[in-house]
């Protein structure tokens, strides 16, 4: 088979297939990112404007077409400003691929120390908020707290969240397998469908997962229930063993695939359990 025949075969069969597969891959992943970041509203707005422009052009509505043509550049800038949080989340998710992943991964002992501390705190109904950093850095959050850079241990976490400790008010941030900071204040979620019974800790846990890919472990001060928050969702009232399993998958995996697997597992485990809450 000469080179000309190979070139014809590639152009006629291989190239169209690769073209369609690559386009399908891009469309699917773009849609997944838009849904996860709640930026689908941005796309709807753009499509509505494009539809109005197409209709005006087809019906030869010169005034509408002229006005839209003038304000189009300003609309692009306005959309970028209005939907800045959603656009930020899109680029954040794009940076969560395997090629951007850090080499440092948490050890099982670090997960065990964190979960054990939260179980102890839950028994005495002492509230706690632990933030596990993944691919997206939390430097701004850490800088606003009390920097520790300490070896992670159960006793240290329990002492931090004691009622008479000045560091108990706020979140502890775990980064690169170490306790980076304590008394860190997190952004509060602006979601409207959060249960009224949830306090500031659960809202803060959701807030940081909306702005980063962090995983947050929460201990309720009112009920002692353990919760996990990640990917803008909160899973309330799960057992210590479930927390260990999901943390191991989320933190040691550290990728979008690991998050999807943990979410699917959480949904399957929830079943008819009304304690499971997903925003």
| Residue 141's CATH number | 3.40.1700.10
Domain-embedded: residue 275: no
Strands 171-175 and 215-219, by their bridges, are unpaired
Q: Which residues fall within 8 angstroms of residue 196, CB to CB, at 6 or more apart?
A: none
Q: Are 120 and 196 in contact (CB under 8 A)?
A: no
Mean pLDDT, rounded, for 9-13:
71
Q: What is the mean pLDDT of the chain?
A: 77
Q: Are 4 and 55 in contact (CB under 8 A)?
A: no
CA distance 117 to 156: 9
pLDDT reported for residue 88: 65
Which band of pLDDT confidence, cut at 50, 70 and 90, is reported for residue 138? Answer: confident
How big is the CA angle at 16 (ends 10 and 21), to the nearest 5 degrees?
120
Which band of pLDDT confidence, cut at 50, 70 and 90, is reported for residue 73? Answer: confident
pLDDT reported for residue 164: 75
Q: Are 145 and 117 in contact (CB under 8 A)?
A: no
Q: Report pTM.
A: 0.60
First to last CA, the chain: 59
Mean pLDDT, rounded, for 233-260:
79
Residue 84 shares a structural domain with residue 167: no
pLDDT reported for residue 103: 44
Range of the domain at 263: 108-270
Residue 257 has pLDDT above 60, yes or no: no
Which range is least confidently modeled, 20-29, 151-160, 260-269? 260-269
Residue 276 has pLDDT above 50, yes or no: no
Which band of pLDDT confidence, cut at 50, 70 and 90, is reported for residue 265? Answer: low
Q: Are 191 and 209 in contact (CB under 8 A)?
A: no
pLDDT reported for residue 101: 45
- 75: its two tokens: 């609309």
CA distance 135 to 35: 20
Task: Report the share of the chain in percent with pLDDT over 90.
Answer: 29
Residue 133 shares a structural domain with residue 92: no
Summarize pLDDT for 81-118 with one digit per residue, the tens. Answer: 766 666 666 666 555 554 444 444 446 888 999 999 99
pLDDT reported for residue 95: 56
Q: Which residues fall within 8 angstroms of residue 194, CB to CB, at 6 or more apart?
A: 202, 203, 206, 234, 279
Residue 49 shares a structural domain with residue 168: no
Torsion of CA 119, 124, 127, 131, to 10 degrees: -20
Residue 166 shares a structural domain with residue 219: yes
Residue 18 shares a structural domain with residue 114: no
Out of 48, 67, 99, a domain closes at: 99
């Amino acid at each position: 088979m000469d080179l000309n025949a190979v070139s014809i075969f590639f152009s006629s069969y291989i190239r169209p297939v690769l073209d369609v597969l690559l386009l399908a891959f891009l469309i699917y992943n773009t849609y997944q990112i838009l849904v996860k970041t709640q930026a689908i509203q941005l796309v709807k707005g753009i499509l509505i404007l494009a539809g109005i422009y197409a209709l005006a052009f087809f019906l030869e509505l010169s005034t509408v077409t002229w006005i839209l043509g003038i304000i189009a550049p300003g609309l692009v800038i306005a959309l970028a400003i209005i939907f800045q949080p959603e656009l930020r989340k899109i680029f954040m998710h794009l940076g969560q691929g395997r090629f951007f992943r850090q080499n440092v991964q948490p050890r099982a002992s670090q997960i065990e120390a964190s979960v054990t501390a939260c179980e102890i705190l839950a028994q005495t109904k002492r509230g706690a908020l632990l933030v596990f950093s993944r691919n997206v850095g939390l430097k701004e959050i850490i800088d606003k707290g009390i920097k520790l850079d300490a070896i992670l241990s159960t006793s240290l976490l329990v002492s931090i969240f004691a009622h008479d400790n000045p560091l108990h008010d706020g979140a502890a941030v775990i980064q690169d397998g170490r306790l980076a900071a304590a008394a860190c204040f997190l952004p509060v979620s602006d979601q409207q469908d959060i249960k009224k019974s949830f306090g500031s800790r659960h809202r803060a846990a959701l807030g940081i997962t909306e702005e980063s890919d962090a995983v947050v472990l929460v201990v309720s001060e009112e009920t002692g229930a353990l919760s996990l928050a990640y990917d803008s969702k909160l899973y309330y009232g799960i057992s210590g063993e479930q927390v260990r399993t999901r943390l191991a998958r989320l933190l040691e995996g550290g990728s979008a695939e690991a998050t999807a697997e943990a979410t699917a597992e959480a949904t399957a485990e929830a079943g008819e359990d009304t304690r499971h809450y997903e925003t």
